[in-house]
Amino acid sequence: MWKVIRPDAVKVLYDTKARASLSHYFSVMENKKPAKFMVSRTIEVEKIKGLNLEELWKLHEEKMREFKEVEEIASLTKLKERSPSLLDLKIEIAEKLMESCILCEHRCRVNRMAGQRGICKAGKELVVSSMFDHYGEEAELVPSFTVFTLGCSFKCLHCQNYSISQWLEKGEEMSPEKVADNVDQARRNGSRNLNCVGGNPDQYLYSWLRVFSKLKENIPVVWNSNAYYSYEQSLLLDGVVDLYLLDFKYGNDKCAYEISGIKNYTIVVKRNHLKAKESGDLLIRILVLPSHLYCCLKPIVEWISENLGENTRINLMWQYYPAWRAWEREELRRRLTQEEMKESLKIAKEAGLKNIIT
Ligand code: SF4
């Protein structure tokens, strides 16, 4: 059915630029290589219980070195799972990070394991709004089994998913086993990937890692995030995420603070994009905001070109419309003009970027 709905989802399979920048993703999607979480399940860890956080991180560093060596030669037919594994170690660390939560750079330090909640308002377990095969994502992702979870670390005035991100919905708390069963079923029915999104996926790292530990099928993991996760989280994502689908929203901290209420935006997001490129494949989404072409878009694309390379695949998104509290800012009360769309593409090309989706 997806071949009919999105013919470009077939065409992209022959797109050399897409394949060059997302080569790992395509290999897993086509079952030529195991997903990273499957490799993490083969790395044996001698002992986890009873270790303190510092000892767990030390062990993680050592086991990640082993992961990188094994991943190079890993083949789907020769995987032997271990217990406890590197993935179990990641779960243990994520649980400890939630006891004084530092999963994102808000660093709320609330004990979510004891029921406290921070800025994202997320509790201990995944709360799901909906999950289904999404046909509106980038061609290479479609059909994308997308799990929308509640809550977000951002409060973007123009949020187009505000009923999810700001908990206007109730959602359903779901066990990792139930989510994994749905993902396995979707993969067997032809989904190309598991798309972890929200809101934002970052606050649910502990649950997501447990989902990955329950999956039976080989499926690429897409981490569809606002890229404001903590450095500690970036270390845990390395070894389980195949494709980082990261937003790059603002080119300066003033716009980030005024529109999304976020401090230290640029330093955190740049750090996470650099780490993502090192840890897996990277596809960057830039939602072009009206009147933010020179304060935001230009510095973003110039930084990407210079630091991540001119062949970095970016999705220049023109679908902005005023939603939620966008009326609070004059420039956000309208859609992009035709001139702004053309100009944004010109800015991205002039920055040297050569792998642009529009
Ligand atoms: S994930 Fe939520 S609770 Fe944890 S630091 Fe971020 S906003 Fe705070």
| Closest alpha carbon to 21 in 244, 278, 282 | 282
Instruction: Specify the pLDDT at position 252.
Output: 98
Neighbours of 215 (CB within 10 A): 21
Q: Answer yes or no: are the C-beta atoms of 191 and 135 closer than 8 Å.
A: no
Q: Ligand 1 pocket: which of 110, 149, 208 to mutate (most atoms <8 Å of CB)?
A: 110
- For the full predicted model, state whether its pTM sits above 0.95: yes
Mean pLDDT, consecutive 10-residue stretches, the chain (358 aa), reads 83 96 98 97 95 98 97 90 97 98 98 97 96 97 98 96 95 98 98 96 98 98 98 98 98 98 97 98 98 98 98 98 97 98 98 97
How far apart are the C-alpha atoms of 255 and 249, rounded to whole Å? 9
Q: What is the CATH number of domain 2-357?
A: 3.20.20.70
Mutation test of ligand 1: which of 119, 121, 152 has the most ligand atoms closer than 8 Å to its C-beta?
119
Whether the CB of 90 sits within 6 Å of ligand 1: no
Burial class (CB in 10 A: 0-12, 13-18, 19+), 216: exposed
The ligand 1 atom nearest the CA atom of 106 = 5
Ligand 1 centroid vs 189 CA: distance in angstroms? 35
Report whether residue 201 contacts ligand 1, using a CB cutoff of 6 Å. no
Return the closest-CA partner of residue 356 out of 320, 316, 319, 301: 316
Q: Is 283 in contact with 22 (CB distance < 8 Å)?
A: yes
Q: Note the pLDDT of residue 5.
A: 80
Whole-number pLDDT of residue 193: 98
| 106 alpha carbon – ligand 1 mean position (Å) | 6
What are the sequence ranges of the domains in the chain? Answer: 2-357
Q: Is the CB of 155 under 6 A from ligand 1?
A: no
Quote the pLDDT of residue 29. 98
* Residue with CA closest to ligand 1 atom 2: 120
CA dist., res. 202 & res. 206, Å (int):
9
159 close to 324: Cβ distance less than 8 angstroms: yes
Which pairing describes strands 221-225 and 193-197: parallel, antiparallel, or unpaired?
parallel
Q: ∠ CA(311), CA(269), CA(209), 5° rounding?
A: 95
56 lines ligand 1 (CB under 6 A): no
- Rounded CA gap, 288 and 249, in Å? 8
For residue 241, how far is its CA from the centre of ligand 1 (angstroms)?
20
Write the single-letter amino acid at 148: F
Question: What's 264-286 look like in SS3?
Answer: CHHHHHHHHHHHHHHHCEEEEEE
Radius of gyration of the chain (CA): 20
d(CA 358, CA 350): 16
What is the whole-number distance in angstroms between the Cα of residue 270 and the centre of ligand 1?
Answer: 19
Contact 314 CB / ligand 1 (< 6 Å)? no
Protein residue whose Cα sits closest to atom 5 of ligand 1: 107
* Alpha-carbon span 169 to 55, nearest angstrom: 40
